[in-house]
Amino acid sequence: MELSVGEFATSRDVVPRLEYLDEAGSTNDVLVAHGTGADAAAWPDLSVVVTDSQTRGRGRMGRIWLAPTGKSLAISVLLRPTLPGGEPLPAADFGWFPLLAGAAMTRAVRDEVDAAPSLVDHLPEEEIPAHEVVLKWPNDVLIDGYKVSGILSELLPGAQGVVIGAGLNVSLDEHDLPTLTSTSLLLVTGHAPDPDVVLARYLTELRSMYQDFLAAAGDPVASGLLAHVTRLCGTLGSPVRVELPGGADLIGTAEALDPLGRLLVRNQANDELQAVAAGDVTHLRY
């Protein structure tokens, strides 16, 4: 079942510029080129490029992200963060943007799942199964433990801004899934969502949290961002294995996020708390 893309009228009302492409190699590449090219001034803060046919998508850790044409969305958002006084946000604070985007997508997916007509409407309300929609640190979105969305952020040269790319499995069926641990909104709800509605929800959540973050001068505590991500993060409290840069593994329990957005893991080998800034996280099930 392919998406009915339309004109994204609702989503266009959320951001200053939205460009839909019939096909793109990578929406991140397209937006990076626009955001740094000769027409960069025409691409303001919160500009968006979106397609339902991405042919060279990239995931974290160098993975390839592919999906059948017309069944998923590839969304890239350009952020040019400026503080209330007009000065640019320090580049050291950019590390929060992947988590911010992950939280925004988690909320959008949760709202879509909650709003969808139930497949079991004939059952009493207390017997209708609830779906768990959570953020897997740092920026995957899971429904009942299966991945429905992933995010990849790319810093512009000279820290002029950042492009946040998100892939969302919208109407893939079980034969389209890229891995055995993936899912889609269609498979979870039984209904093909309106892509404009889903995109508008994501962009609205992202814009709101982003503006709050900047209004608080990039303070994740004062802006509420740390609390939002903590509430949504299903990694916290879970036993995890973290594949660290360089190939080493850290096994322990994810306990919290620190003010830099790093994952704090209690190392089972020595009972010490270790901060993880980057790594591939697997939720362990015992």
Spell out the domain ranges in the chain.
Answer: 9-229, 235-283
3-state secondary structure the chain: CCCCCCCCHHHHCCCCEEEEECCECCHHHHHHHHHHCCCHHHCCCCEEEEECCECCEECHHHCEECCCCCCEEEEEEEECCECCCCCECCHHHHHHHHHHHHHHHHHHHHHHHHHCCCCCCCCCHHHCCCCCEEEECCCEEEECCEEEEEEEEEECHHHCCEEEEEEEECCCCCCCCCCCCECCHHHHHCCCCCHHHHHHHHHHHHHHHHHHHHHCCCCCCCCCHHHHHHHHECCCCCEEEEECCCCCEEEEEEEEECCCCCEEEEECCCCCEEEECCCEEEECCC
CATH of domain 235-283: 2.30.30.100
C-beta separation of 94 from 79 below 8 A:
no
- pLDDT(284) > 90: no
> Average pLDDT, stretch 129-156?
92
> Residue 179: what pLDDT?
86
C-beta separation of 169 from 67 below 8 A:
yes
> Average pLDDT, stretch 219-247?
93
What is d(CA 137, CA 75) in angstroms, rounded to the nearest whole number? 19
Q: What percentage of the chain has pLDDT greater than the value 70?
A: 88
pLDDT band at 286 (very low <50, low <70, confident <90, very high): very low
> Residue 55: what pLDDT?
85
> Average pLDDT, stretch 168-179?
90
> Residue 130: what pLDDT?
79
- pLDDT(127) > 80: no
> Residue 275: what pLDDT?
92
The architecture of the domain spanning 9-229 is: 2-Layer Sandwich (3.30)
- pLDDT(3) > 60: no
- pLDDT(1) > 60: no
C-beta separation of 183 from 143 below 8 A:
yes
Residue with the bigger pLDDT between 157 and 199: it is 199
Express each pLDDT in 17-27 by its tens digit.
Answer: 999 999 999 99
Express each pLDDT in 42-61 by its tens digit.
Answer: 999 999 999 999 886 555 54
> Average pLDDT, stretch 136-154?
94
What is d(CA 106, CA 202) in angstroms, rounded to the nearest whole number? 8
Express each pLDDT in 259-277 by its tens digit.
Answer: 999 999 999 989 999 999 8
What is d(CA 176, CA 183) in angstroms, rounded to the nearest whole number? 9
> 51-55, 116-120, 123-127: lowest mean pLDDT where?
123-127
